[in-house]
Structures are given as structure tokens and as C-alpha cells.
Structure 1
């Protein structure tokens, strides 16, 4: 059944100054005409009765309430849903929604920190990749030894040294074994020390420092050329020319011999070529023979000053006019 709808009313007038309230005018009730009967039956008509409303008042409009018969069977109303008891599934869904909201908030407030972390991780990964690439390249056949260069040889045969080191060819530069190189150079007495240098991509450089001969030592097998440490460099039946004959108590390797070698290596080049013999019984009584004159050198201390004094004495008194130069004490020299 359709309910009558209210007519719009006139909005209330704005309040004026406090005066006597006006009396509402009486409104005459509407006139209702009596129904006219038709000869034929007409459908049922509903007459709407409109009640007059007073000016300045609004008639409240009531929302039509659904009849019980208007609700379909099985249909759930909002009131029925609000009254439904919560179950375990509802609690789980609420907890899951809360966790998702918390994760969203955490991600929103830590976005800058995560960007810095990603930047550090990317940098670290780049460094690791570069390092692994460098190591892989260094140990690959691209950097294997294919050429061996020997430097610093004078009396030593360079070709023989390169042939002795040929076993290192094909080995990556980073894997060259220094002990294997040492074992190959042990067979060359003239080698005093050496160093290895890798020149990428495929060259191995070996720098050799040869031993310096200081004199000749008489042995049962002939005359041996030795260095300052007493290492025999070569042996021959005749004494090699250009080197002094050394006589030291205790033989090669003794303290007296090492003192003789130290004195010889400290001499200037022009004096070294004039020495024909050297002798010592102790480290403190080294003597030299220069053009027939004997030089009492003493110990191996202060060699530079002693060499300067000896050169001055030889200029003042040539060896042909002197039998002995005693420079064991540079401050008090004696010429005989």
C-alpha cells in the first residue's frame, strides 16, 4: 500500500527583533467532493489526504519499514550479520590484515635504508666479479710463459741459462715456482743472486748478478778462481792473468780469507789492477803486493781513507823507490 508523501513546506522566516509573536492564520480544511458512482466497476483508487502544515514547521518524513513479508527467505540482513559471532577464521583474517599493514609501514619507513643496502651489495658484487675475472685471467693459458729473457750476464753463457730455465715455458706467470728457478741456476757457480720479473702477457725476465772474482788460490788440482766468499768459479792448470794470488791461513772460507776479499773489493779500480798478491794470517794483518812493494794494510776497517792515503804515498814515493808502505794506521803512515 502506498503511503502519502508530504508536500514541501515554506522554510521558516529569519528571526527578527524580539516582538510579539504573530498568530497563525486559520486555514480552512480542504473540501472533499463525494465520489461519483460509475455504471461500470472501476479499479480500486486510493485517495491521498493532504493535511495542511503550519508555516515555520517541517513535517518529519519516516522511512518506510520493510514488511516481514518483503524479506526473501534465506536473505541476510545487516542486523543479522552484525549479530553473528566471530569465528577462528575471522580472527585469522584480521591478524593477517594487521601483519600486511605493518609490513607496508615498515617498507615505507625503511625505503632509503634498503636503497643504501642494495647499493653496497651491488658494489661488493662488482668488486668480487672483477677479482674473480682477474684471477681467472691470470691463471689462464693467455698468460703462460712463452719467452724467457736473461739479463746481467758477463762471463756467464746466456744461452745456457735460458736452456736451463726452459722447463718454465707453458706455466702461467702467476704459477712460476721460484724454487724451480733456483734449482735450475744452482749449476752455475758464477750466479751470486737472481731476481724474477713477470712481464705480461707471456714473458719471464731473470736478472742475474754474477760473482766477482777476487783472486786465485793454489790447490792440488791447479789454480782456482774464487770470489770474496771463497766460492770456486773455475779451475785451471795455470793461474789466470789479471787476478792476484791469495794466501790465507785456513784456506778459502776462513776469516782471514774473507778479510782479504773485503779489502780487495774496497780498492779503487786503478789500484785493484796493480795488485799482484794478497796474504793474511789473521783478519787484522792483511798485506798486499803492488809492483814489488809490500803494503801493510792491517784490518779491513776504514778502507776508503786507507786507499786515499796509499794513492798519495805512491805518487810521492813510487813503488820502485819503496820497499814497504805501512798504512795500518792512516794517521801515522810509514814508508820504508
Structure 2
């Protein structure tokens, strides 16, 4: 009886593994989730080479190579959903602004990855001026500040500049209210203080917010 039971277990395991690697569980549909700026259908089309591949044999290196063509993709995960679905979960890069060069205006994320380049500055994008370029401490400081800002404030930033990690300055809205940020020390606290100050006195009604010293918030009259 023990021999028969053992043989049945082995047969079940072999059958299950065999089925998993067979066309019975081949990819027939690729579902891309998590995208907003990136067209999901384009990503799915780029991965169409995996159609017909058993879910257990999906080539992760080939998937990675296909997704390299999409600069907006920051990371991804694959999920097999038997019997025939491959789910690709995308995390997109978040643009923080645009830098100007001889090639035009390049939209970048906080890591300095160029997401797109156009002749003219994209509407609604902050112009970034960082001494030393995208690999400089100045850009790293600007990126840290921009990522810490609430989305409602980040969308109002028209200009962000710095010469190093200790002198970040922002401009807000059409009126150009100045935000003196100073160093990146206590950036989360400064972001919270700025949000509170802008709720009480919107950017159109003042000329500056100084959060460089979080213990003494300064709001300049318009």
C-alpha cells in the first residue's frame, strides 16, 4: 500500500510539473497594469514575443530587454495567472521638471533619467537649473525637494534652481512667488510647512515663502 501511495504521489507531481511547462498553460493574453502616461497597449505589443510560451518559461531577460525601450518604466513585476494570462505590473517614473540643452528641453525624473526631449519646454513642466548638470549635487538637491512636495504644490512650480545642496530656490505660479528652501536638511518638514503656509496664503497673494529655517517660517507680503 505504501509503495502504491508513493507511486501515485510521484505520478501526481510529475503530471503537475509537466502540465505547468506544457502548452496547456501557455501565454495567450498579456495584461499591463499600473500605467498612466505610458500606453498599456504599446507595452503589451512589445512583449508579444512571449505569446505561446508556457507561463513557467516566460523569459524575464527578454521582458526586461523589451521594456528598456520605454524610459518611463522605473520597475516592473511579472505575475502568472493560470491558465493563460501574464500580468505585467509597471511602476512609472515621475517627472520632476525639464532641463534645457542644445537638443532642446529634456523632461527628467529624480534620478536624472531623460524621459523625453522636445524643441520647446513642455507646458506645465518646471524648468530646472542645476549647476553641474544632472549628475551634480545641485540636481540631487532639487530632485529631493521636488519629490517631497505634495503633488498640488509640485504642479505649481515653474522654476527650480540650485548651485549646490544648500541653496535650493523655487518659483510658483504665474505670479512667480519665490520659495527660499535653502538646504535639503529637514526637507519633509519644510514641505509640510510650505503646504500649510500656502493653504493660509496662496501663492498669488504673496511674493515669497522662506522655509530655509523651519523654526522661523517667513511669508513675504505680495
- Cα distance per residue 1:59-98 (max 9 Å; x no partner): xxxxxxxxxxxxxxxxxxxxxxxxxxxxxxxxxxxxxxxx
Shift in Å at residue 321 of structure 1? 5.6
- Cα distance per residue 1:164-187 (max 9 Å; x no partner): 111111111101111110001111
Equivalences for 1:58-97 in 2 at 5 Å? none
Equivalences for 1:76-225 in 2 at 5 Å? 119=2, 121-225=3-107
Find 2:187's aligned residue among 303, 307, 323: 303
**1:313 maps onto 2:186 in alignment:** no
Shift in Å at residue 209 of structure 1? 1.3
Shift in Å at residue 319 of structure 1? 4.1
Shift in Å at residue 241 of structure 1? 0.9
- Cα distance per residue 1:271-291 (max 9 Å; x no partner): 122211101111222111123
Shift in Å at residue 322 of structure 1? 4.2
Find 1:253's aligned residue among 119, 135, 138: 135
- Do 2:150 and 2:195's aligned partners in 1 also have CA atoms closer than 8 Å? no
Partner SS for 1:224: strand
Call closer, same or farther: CA 1:170–1:284 in 2, change over 3 Å. same
Q: Which residues of structure 1 form unaligned runs of 5+?
A: 1-117
Partner SS for 1:252: helix
Shift in Å at residue 270 of structure 1? 2.1
Give the TM-score, by structure 1 length. 0.60
CA distance in 2, matches of 1:127, 1:284: 67
Shift in Å at residue 213 of structure 1? 0.7
Q: Which residue of 2 aligns with 1:114?
A: none
- Do 2:72 and 2:92's aligned partners in 1 also have CA atoms closer than 8 Å? yes
Find 2:124's aligned residue among 242, 259, 276: 242
Call closer, same or farther: CA 1:153–1:321 in 2, change over 3 Å. closer
CA distance in 2, matches of 1:153, 1:318: 32
Give the TM-score, by structure 2 length. 0.89
Call closer, same or farther: CA 1:334–1:163 in 2, change over 3 Å. same
Task: Considering fraction of residues, name the structure with more strand.
Answer: 2
CA distance in 2, matches of 1:262, 1:149: 33
Q: How many residues align?
A: 218
Q: Which has the higher contact order (CA 8 A, sep 6+)?
A: 2
Stretches of 4+ aligned residues off by more than 6 angstroms = none
Q: Which residue of 2 aligns with 1:331?
A: 215
Partner SS for 2:86: strand
Shift in Å at residue 330 of structure 1? 0.9
CA distance in 2, matches of 1:140, 1:311: 56
